[in-house]
Chain A
């Protein structure tokens, strides 16, 4: 069971090597972004550092606007998900109503077929609602999330009934009980779900690509795909700089809150 010290060392070395391989593409992007374009394929430790790639990338495409759009869309999605999924999860966990089982089974369908694959009809719906090329249109298909309902329902079910009963005896209504008992006791689940949802939507591409067609709505992923496409003829140093800029908020967040991120993804994955 216990490996010999020699094998322990070999394993550690192998783990490090794989880590280095895994980090290499990103390290490489950093290298290219912080050096003059000429050094992208030319490794020289004496190469001068520069910030000009970032400046140029920033001026080549409306990154500030893309960031704003992404923040608006991501915040809107996560906030509405919290509200809708909390209410629905509360209904499923704490009330025994007629049709509950069927409704729950119907929600299950979304775990198999997601809005990502239903973009043809959803596009038609957005056209009918006159929402094409708007930020709500990017958001709306995702705000009722089966995953969110499941996660929160599971958690609400673990809250002791006695706590809710005590509140009820004191005259609290259903929404007060939800806000005063269930939600505060589920903080860590909200954090986990929030982190997963934000990083998911920050990275989402296909639906935003389809539904947006102007600078004022495009999120950063779509903006980046236009910016980085070879037809644009922008050189790799600048593409790297733009790419790093657009992942910076998530990357910094991840490195600062690595523990929470990993635990959140773990928690969210284990249903």
Chain B
């Protein structure tokens, strides 16, 4: 074959198998969701009717959507700072010599590899009113128990605690990698200058970890639109929509209410959020490159 054409042919031939599945299960659904969101649900026998932005008007007036969006924000901004602080702390601790380091590291990391469903099964029992572990502890100290998951004031917080527990060890390893990759000369300089440990962390280590933190923050944000498994076990979005997150609401709309048109609208909203997040991340990383 003519070598000038060959590279095009080989390139496309090698890419085609993957391309088919990329298009079928990522690009086509993206376009199709936007399209479906402009139609109503087909009635028996008839085709779907074009309704323009009608479904979006419904979205704006849908209190559950706004509740879910708010919950998503509370969930993200309530968990991420805590998870990241813990992850950094864990990484700094595990990065130094100490007795039983392997055990401690394994303890931090293990929740990461467990499925969220299994985790929720275990935590469900902690939260069970009356006989659950938390209530047992409270009662032991003479306090009344409470219905942790059944109370709209505490239900979302219960899910957030689990998220922190599961993710901190995961993000720890990225900080651990970053700590081990820190430039030796900077650390030496700090040692020679006799900088205090906390001062050194705040002025040198923390800024150097910034690219990792950016990466971790955006990953954690994306996760809140991806991991909703524990809701199925623990609260099913209730009580009173207190634990309704956007992806869970999408699931309910599509597969419990079978409202495909509105589910398409919710898909478009989630896609828009995720894409804006990615753009922001791109901009932030672009500005931060001088740290790397």
A residues with a Cβ closer than 8 A to B are 1-3, 8, 11-12, 14-16, 18-20, 22-23, 25-26, 28-29, 32, 40-41, 83-85, 87-88, 90-92, 95-100, 103, 106-107, 109-125, 140-144, 146, 149, 174, 199, 202-203, 205-206, 209-210, 220-221, 224-225, 228-230, 236, 239-240, 242-243, 246-247, 250-251, 254-255, 258, 261-262, 265-266, 269-270
Closest Cβ neighbor of A12 among chain B residues: B98
A25 touches B177 (CB 8 A): no
> In the complex, what's the smallest C-beta–C-beta distance from A224 to chain B, in angstroms?
5
> In the complex, what's the smallest C-beta–C-beta distance from A138 to chain B, in angstroms?
12
The DSSP consensus for interface residues of chain A is: helix
> In the complex, what's the smallest C-beta–C-beta distance from B200 to chain A, in angstroms?
6
A91 touches B25 (CB 8 A): no
19 examples of A-B residue contacts, CB within 8 angstroms: A1-B195, A3-B197, A18-B90, A26-B122, A41-B131, A87-B14, A113-B271, A115-B25, A117-B247, A117-B250, A119-B250, A119-B251, A122-B25, A144-B18, A144-B20, A174-B14, A225-B233, A228-B121, A266-B176
Closest Cβ neighbor of B33 among chain A residues: A121
B247 touches A87 (CB 8 A): no
B133 touches A28 (CB 8 A): yes
Residues of chain A with a CB closer than 8 A to B226's CB: 114, 116-117
Q: Does B239 contact A (CB under 8 A)?
A: no
For the complex with contacts A28-B122, A87-B18, A243-B122, 14 further pairs of A-B residues with Cβ separation under 8 Å are: A8-B98, A19-B107, A25-B165, A26-B122, A29-B122, A98-B11, A117-B225, A118-B267, A121-B267, A124-B32, A210-B251, A228-B117, A265-B112, A266-B177
A117 touches B271 (CB 8 A): yes
A-B contact count (CB 8 A): 276
B123 touches A25 (CB 8 A): yes
Residues of chain B with a CB closer than 8 A to A246's CB: 115, 118
Contacts A25-B123, A88-B14, A117-B271 given; does A98 touch B104 at CB 8 Å: no
Contacts A1-B197, A97-B11, A122-B25 given; does A84 touch B18 at CB 8 Å: yes
Q: Does B136 contact A (CB under 8 A)?
A: yes
Closest 3 CB pairs of A and B: A97-B11, A144-B21, A91-B14
Whole-angstrom CA separation of A29 from B215 in the bound complex: 33
Closest Cβ neighbor of B234 among chain A residues: A230
Stretch at the interface among B47-55, B61-69, B71-79, B167-175: B167-175
B251 touches A111 (CB 8 A): no
Q: Does B58 contact A (CB under 8 A)?
A: no
A210 touches B98 (CB 8 A): no
B177 touches A270 (CB 8 A): yes
A255 touches B106 (CB 8 A): yes
Residues of chain B with a CB closer than 8 A to A265's CB: 112, 170, 173
Whole-angstrom CA separation of A102 from B169 in the bound complex: 37
> In the complex, what's the smallest C-beta–C-beta distance from A25 to chain B, in angstroms?
5
Whole-angstrom CA separation of A29 from B117 in the bound complex: 14
Contacts A95-B11, A97-B12, A103-B15 given; does A206 touch B274 at CB 8 Å: no
Closest Cβ neighbor of B232 among chain A residues: A225
B25 touches A140 (CB 8 A): yes
Interface string of B1-44 (1 = CB under 8 A from A): 00000011011111101111110111111101100100000000
Interface string of B99-134 (1 = CB under 8 A from A): 110111111111111111111111111100001010
A269 touches B98 (CB 8 A): no
Interface string of B248-278 (1 = CB under 8 A from A): 0011001100001001100100110011011
Residues of chain A with a CB closer than 8 A to B93's CB: 11, 14-15, 18
Whole-angstrom CA separation of A8 from B7 in the bound complex: 60
Closest Cβ neighbor of B114 among chain A residues: A247
Residues of chain A with a CB closer than 8 A to B209's CB: none
Closest Cβ neighbor of B261 among chain A residues: A120
Contacts A103-B19, A236-B125 given; does A221 touch B229 at CB 8 Å: yes
Q: Does B238 contact A (CB under 8 A)?
A: no
